[in-house]
Structure 1
Amino acid sequence: MTTTSTSYSTPNGLGIDITTLVSQMMSTYQGPINAVKSQISKLNSQISSLGTFQSSLDSLKSAMQAMTSTSFLQATTTSSSDTSVVAATSDGTTPAGQYQINVSQLAAPQTTTLSGLNVTDPTAAISGLNRVVTILSANGSTPAKQIDLSANTNGTSLNDLAAAINKAGLGVSALVSPVLNGAGQATSYNLVLMGQQTGSQAGAFTVDSDLSTALNTNAGASVSSSTQAATNALYTINGVQQQSQSNTVTNGMQGLTLTLNKLGTSAVNVQMDTSQITTTVQNFVNAYNKVVTTIGTMKSGTWGPDSMLTSVQSGLLSQITAPYNANGSPTILDSSPLAAIGITQGSTLTNNAGQLVFDSTKFVQAIQTNPSSVVNMLKNGPGANLVNYITGLETSGTNTNGNYDGLLVSRKNSLNRQIGDLTSQQSALQEGLDNRQTALTAQYSALNASIATMQASLNSVRSALGM
C-alpha cells in the first residue's frame, strides 16, 4: 500500500496561508463599499464643477456690473493740439467736445531779491547774523518767523543763512545768486527768496526788516530789495475768463485737468473712448459665453442633463431678453433691449448656439445716438435683472418666511448632505468588513492550529513506523 502525503504551500510549510486567503476572500466583499466610494467621488466631482460654475457666474455678474456702473460711458480720450502750451487729461466725466484754451499768464510765486549786500565771498561770516534773526512771514501768516543763528561758533555766512532758511520749512526757498561782470565772473552775491507755491495768495510772503538790518552789518553793505509779486494763472476756455492759483488746473471744466506750460493757445479735444467701452461690452459677452461653455462641460461630465443647469441657463437668457420699457411708450430698446445695441444670440445651427454675439459697430452707433437711453436701459432693464438673478442664485436664506436658499446654495448643501450620508454608510460598511476579516482570521487561525496538531500526530506515527 502506498501512502500519499499532502503538503501545504505556506510560509512555514504547515497549515494555511491565512493572510493571503483572508485577503482574497475579503476582496469579494468589497462591492458595496466600492459602490459607495464611487458615489462619493462623483458627488465631490460635482461639487468641484459647481464651484467652477459659480465662479463663472460671478465673473458674468461683475462684467455686467461694469456695464451698469455710472462710469461705463465716461471713458474718454483727451488730446491737446499743442502740449507745450497746455497738456490735458480727463477722468472720463468731461463732456465730449473741443475746448480752445488761451493762456495769457502763468501762475508764479513771489520772488524777492536782496541786493547791495557787498558780499564777495558767500562763505565769509557776516557778524550781524550770529543771533536770532526775524526772517519773514509766508502765506499771510503772523508773526514773522525767526531763525536762531547764534550757535554758529565760526560765524554765519550768506551760504549758511540760505541753508538755514531752506531748512526751516518757512514755505520760502533761499538762493545765493552771483552778480556777474561782463567777463562772466562773480563780483558779488545777492540773496534771492522765492515762494515755494504759486498764486497771489499761496505764493506771497513778507520780508521782515530785521533781515536787512542783519545783512547791513557787513562792511560797505547798503541793502535794498526788489520784488516780483506772486501771480495767478490767467486763461480762457472757449473765451470764458478763468484764473487759478496753480498752473495745474482741476476746476476749470468738469473732470478735466489742464497743465499750463507757457503762454499761447491750444485746442483740447475730448472724445468718447469707444474702444475702451466696447471692450467692456465684449468682456460681458465673453463672460456669458464662458458660463454657457461651463454648463455644456458639466452636462457632458458627471452632471449629465441636470435640470438645475437647464434652469439656470434658461433663467440667464430670460433676464437679458426680457422686454424693457423705460419711458412708458414703445422705443427701439423695448422688445429686444440688448439686441438693439448689438448683443444677440448665436445661430442654433452653428457652434455659437446658446452663446452671445457682439456687433461693436451697431453698439457704437447706439451709444453715439442716445447714450443716456443705453445707460438707463442697462441699469434698469436686463443689466439689473441679470445681476439680481445671479445674486439670488448664490444667496443663503433662513428657509423661513419665504427667505430660502438660492438654487446654487441649495444644490451645494444637498450634495454635501449626500456625501455626509454616504460617508456614514461607508464607515458602517467598513466596520462590518473589519469585523468579518477579524472573524475569518480567527477561524482560519484555529483551523491552522488544528492542522498543525494533526501534522504533528502524523509525523509521530510515521516516526513510530519508521517511515
Structure 2
Amino acid sequence: MAGLGIDGLASSLETTSIITQLMQLEARPQTLLKTKLTATTSFLADLRSLNTAVAGIATSAKDVGSSASLALFSATASSDAATATARTGASAGSVTFRVQQTAQAQSIVTGAMTKWGSDPAVLTIKGADGTLTEITAASTSLEDVAAAINSAGAGVTATRVASGKAADGTAQYRLQLTAAQTGSAGAFTAYRGAKADVAAGTAPSLLAESGADQVAAARDASIVLWEGSSAEQTLTSSTNTFAEVLGGTDITVAKAATEPVTVTVAQDGNAASAVASGFVAKLSALFGTISVKSKVTPSTNAAGTPIVSAGSFTGDSTVRQLKDALLTAVIDPVEGKSLSTIGISVTRDGSVSFDAAKFGEALKSDPAGTQRMFSAAAARVQEVAEDASDSLDGFLTSKVTGQENAVKSLNENIAAWDLRLAKRKDMLQRQYTAMETAMSSIQSQSNWLASQLAALTPTSN
C-alpha cells in the first residue's frame, strides 16, 4: 500500500509532498550526523597523513642521528691511471703509488679441428687451486663441447671460432677458452681426457697440441708504493681493485703508468651538508603542513555575511602538542650552544631553515663538535616523533584510533536512522492512505444519501 499513488484520492491534498516535507523534518538529526561524518572523515584522513609523515621523520632522524652520519668522505686520484671511491668507514688520508700492471684473464685457443678428437668428447679443466672438473659434451661437435664447458661451472668460458677449411673442404674451428676471473686466481689448464687420466699424468694438455697457443696469461694487477725508497713495496690484486690500501677506499687501476698516482681521501662537506639539509627539509615540510591545516580563513557567504573557515587542525591540542615538542627539540641548545651556530634555525612562522654556508663553515672548523650537535638534535627529534607515531601507544596514533572509532560510531548511527526513517515513512504513507480511503467512503455514503433524499422529495406537476 505504501507504494501506491494516493495524491488527491478524496481529499485533493498533495499527500506525497506532505510526506516528503515531514520526512525532511524527521531526517534532520541524521543530516547533522552525516555532516559531522564528512568533517570527521576528512579530519581522520589528515591525521593519518600526518602520522605517516611523523613516522617518516622518526626513521629519518634515526638514520642521520648516528655519531658518524656526517663523516662522509670522497676520494680523488691525480691521474687517469687509477680511480678511487670512498666507502662507508673511510677516513682522511692519501697515498702515492705507481701502477705497474693491470689484471688480466688467461685465455687460450686450441688448434684447428673439424670435431673433437675422441668420442665421447671428454676434457678436464684444472683450476688454480688444483680442482679438477671433468666435462663430457653431448657430441663431438665443437659447438656442443663449448656448450658443455660453459655449463660446467669450471670457471672457464668457451667460444667456438671459425678457422677456415680442412684440405677436404670441411669447415674447421678453434675453441677459445677464457678464465671467468682475472689474475692468478683464475688461472687454469685444460686437458684432453678424464680426471683419472689427469691424475695419472696421461692426459695431454690442449696447449701441447699443434696450432694451440696461450693468447693471454693470467696476471695480477700490481702497484708499487714508495718506489725508490727503502720502504718500497709491491701490492698485488687478482682484480684491478685494491680495497685496503687506504681503509674504506677502493682504488681501481686502469692502465700501467710510469708516473706516480696520488689518491687523496678528504671529508666531503657537500655530502654532509646534503644529509643535514634533507633532514631539515623534512621537518620544514611537516611544519608547513600543520600550519596550512591550522589556518583560519575569513570570507563571506553568498549572502554577503562574514564567515570564518577553519582548517582541520585548527585548535587541536594533540597536533599543537606535536608541533611544540618538535620545535623544542630543535630550539633547545646542545652543549650550551644554539643549533643556529651550525646553520639550523627556527623561523618566525614556526618552521625551521637550513643555512648550507654556515653549516659548511661549522663542519670545516669543528667537525666533531658539529657532528655532536647535529646528532643530539636528531636524537631529540627521533624521540618526539616516536612518542607521537608509535604504532602501539603513540599519542598521535591514539588520536587516529579515536577518530576511527568516531567514524565507525557515526556510520552505525546513520544506518540506524535509515531504518528508523524507513519505518516512519511507511507509517505516514499508511496513515494518509487510510485517511484517503476513509474520506472516499464517506463521500460515497454522502452521495448515496443525497440520492435517496432526492428520491423522497415529491416532484411538482
Residues 97 and 31 of structure 1: CA distance in aligned 2, closer, same or farther (over 3 Å): same
Q: Is the 8 A contact 2:206 2:212 kept in 1?
A: no
Aligned to 1:46: 43
- Partner Cα separation in structure 1 for residue 425 and residue 365 of structure 2: 80
How far the C-alpha of 1:103 sits from its partner, in A, is 0.9
TM-score when scaled to structure 1?
0.72
Q: Quick one: percent identity of the two aligned structures?
A: 23
Aligned to 1:287: 282
How far the C-alpha of 1:136 sits from its partner, in A, is 5.1
Are 2:126 and 1:137 aligned?
yes
- Partner Cα separation in structure 2 for residue 49 and residue 170 of structure 1: 60
Aligned to 1:273: 268
Equivalent position to 1:55, from 52, 56, 67: 52
Paired residues, number: 411
How far the C-alpha of 1:151 sits from its partner, in A, is 5.5
Equivalent position to 1:444, from 426, 432, 436: 432
Q: Which amino acid aligns with 1:280?
A: V
- Partner Cα separation in structure 1 for residue 57 and residue 212 of structure 2: 73
Aligned to 1:245: 238
Q: Is the 8 A contact 1:91 1:256 kept in 2?
A: yes
- Partner Cα separation in structure 2 for residue 140 and residue 90 of structure 1: 32
Residues 442 and 164 of structure 1: CA distance in aligned 2, closer, same or farther (over 3 Å): closer
Cα deviation per residue 1:334-363 (whole Å; 9 max; x = unaligned)?
332x222100111x3xxxx10112111111
- Partner Cα separation in structure 2 for residue 228 and residue 372 of structure 1: 51
Residues 99 and 420 of structure 1: CA distance in aligned 2, closer, same or farther (over 3 Å): same
Equivalent position to 2:389, from 381, 385, 394: 394
My pick for the range that moved more, 65-74 or 297-306, is 65-74
Aligned to 1:81: 78
Q: Is the 8 A contact 1:78 1:90 kept in 2?
A: yes
Residues 309 and 456 of structure 1: CA distance in aligned 2, closer, same or farther (over 3 Å): same
Are 2:269 and 1:298 aligned?
no
Show structure 1 runs of 5+ residues with no match: 1-8, 180-187, 326-333, 398-404
Residues 374 and 212 of structure 1: CA distance in aligned 2, closer, same or farther (over 3 Å): same
Superposed, 1:20-169 pairs within 5 Å as 20-69=17-66, 72-83=69-80, 85-110=81-106, 122-124=112-114, 129-130=118-119, 135=124, 137-142=126-131, 146=134, 152=140, 169=153
Residues 238 and 413 of structure 1: CA distance in aligned 2, closer, same or farther (over 3 Å): farther
Aligned to 1:197: 181
TM-score when scaled to structure 2?
0.73
- Partner Cα separation in structure 2 for residue 225 and residue 425 of structure 1: 90
Residues 112 and 49 of structure 1: CA distance in aligned 2, closer, same or farther (over 3 Å): closer
How far the C-alpha of 1:436 sits from its partner, in A, is 3.7
Show structure 2 runs of 5+ residues with no match: 1-5, 164-171, 192-197, 228-232, 296-310, 456-461
How far the C-alpha of 1:50 sits from its partner, in A, is 0.9
Are 2:323 and 1:335 aligned?
no
My pick for the range that moved more, 362-371 or 296-305, is 296-305
Residues 15 and 317 of structure 1: CA distance in aligned 2, closer, same or farther (over 3 Å): same
Cα deviation per residue 1:274-323 (whole Å; 9 max; x = unaligned)?
33332332222222222222222332313422222222111111122223
Q: Is the 8 A contact 1:86 1:101 kept in 2?
A: no
- Partner Cα separation in structure 1 for residue 318 and residue 87 of structure 2: 43
How far the C-alpha of 1:249 sits from its partner, in A, is 2.6
Q: Is the 8 A contact 2:67 2:372 kept in 1?
A: no
Q: Which amino acid aligns with 1:444?
A: Y
- RMSD over equivalenced CA pairs, Å: 4.1
Aligned to 1:377: 373
How far the C-alpha of 1:177 sits from its partner, in A, is 9.8
Aligned to 2:326: 316
Superposed, 1:213-252 pairs within 5 Å as 230-236=218-224, 241-252=234-245
Q: Is the 8 A contact 1:101 1:267 kept in 2?
A: yes
Cα deviation per residue 1:402-427 (whole Å; 9 max; x = unaligned)?
xxx33212322333344445445545
How far the C-alpha of 1:434 sits from its partner, in A, is 4.1
